[in-house]
Amino acid sequence: MALVLAKEQFTRRDACVNLWVAPYSKIAATSYDDAALFEHATDKSYRFGGSYREQQRITRPKRK
């Protein structure tokens, strides 16, 4: 029955090739107290593009 309901819910608008159905009792979730678990081990802020415009402003020749 769960597979039929999942098919009705998730294949109505988009194409679907695979559905997973699991009992609610088998689903695990982390708590909000485990937020530290998802923090990055190293600083990777260099990957963000936020400082790109600032770098352009610094290195761009000034207009007269």
**Domain ranges across the chain:** 1-59
- From residue 4, give the alpha-carbon distance in Å to each of 7, 18, 22, 58: 5, 13, 13, 60
Which residues touch 11 (CB under 8 Å, ≥6 apart)?
Answer: 19
pTM: 0.40
Q: What pLDDT score was predicted for residue 62?
A: 72
Residues of the chain falling short of pLDDT 70 = 49-52, 64
Q: What pLDDT score was predicted for residue 23?
A: 94
Q: What pLDDT score was predicted for residue 8?
A: 92
